[in-house]
Amino acid sequence: GAGVSQSPRYKVAKRGQDVALRCDPISGHVSLFWYQQALGQGPEFLTYFQNEAQLDKSGLPSDRFFAERPEGSVSTLKIQRTQQEDSAVYLCASSLVGTSILQLDTQYFGPGTRLTVL
Amino acid sequence: DAKTTQPTSMDCAEGRAANLPCNHSTISGNEYVYWYRQIHSQGPQYIIHGLKNNETNEMASLIITEDRKSSTLILPHATLRDTAVYYCIVRVEGNTGKLIFGQGTTLQVKP
């Protein structure tokens, strides 16, 4: 079946531009996560949705970062006034259920969007 | 969540078993050990997880020491496609579900 998809796969932005990154989770998955991965580092958590509710945004690095999932399926991560330090791979992951049922809480990751800010 | 320590890199010959260690000396009784891997230019992929018993699935085996302070991921017959960064992660049930990745171990499988 279809996995998690992300678009675009690559994005080049000039410093100061706004960007929008899209995530299509696996159909029916309740939970959706965004992670940021700098070059040579492990992914770092940004934010978490359970259906349309954003339950944890503790990892968002600044108020320039905004995420939404209005209908509980597709999610968009928006970065305003991009800076060079925003250059990274942005990963989206989804899981079937809410976080209380750990046995079923395997996160399935998309291929990521590589953002380069010039 | 407890912190984990892994070697930065390891080599393994193709066809041989790859044994990847992980230390998690501050693990609590309700924390699970998870393993994910990330092949170059792909998103992380779930491998296996366990609480205190050894676990095996079609991808790998997970051996957890009796005191739960360390574990070993075993790939029984490594192939070139197993070359990846392997992450050992400790998770507690009931938190937001976010994964806290460290630096991981870069496993290079050589012909």
pLDDT tier at A1 (50, 70, 90 boundaries)? Answer: low
Report which DSSP code applies to B41: T
Looking at residue B94, its pLDDT comes to 62
- How confident is the prediction for chain B on average, in pLDDT? 92
Tell me, yes or no, if B95 comes closer than 8 A to chain A by beta carbon. yes
A45 and B32: CB-CB below 8 Å?
no
pLDDT tier at A43 (50, 70, 90 boundaries)? Answer: very high
Residue with tokens 């509980």: A72
Tell me, yes or no, if B91 comes closer than 8 A to chain A by beta carbon. yes
β A113-117/A10-13 pair status: parallel
Looking at residue A91, its pLDDT comes to 98
Q: Mean per-residue pLDDT for A13-39?
A: 96
Q: Mean per-residue pLDDT for B7-36?
A: 94
Considering only CB atoms, which residues of chain A are within 8 Å of chain B? Answer: 4, 31, 33, 35, 41-45, 48, 55-56, 59, 91, 93, 95, 98-100, 102, 105-112
Give A43's contacts (C-beta < 8 A, 6+ positions apart): A35, A36, A37, A91, B44, B99, B101
A109 and B102: CB-CB below 8 Å?
no
**B40-91: per-residue pLDDT in tens?**
999 999 999 999 989 999 999 999 999 999 999 999 999 999 999 999 998 8
Give A66's contacts (C-beta < 8 A, 6+ positions apart): A60, A77, A78, A79, A80
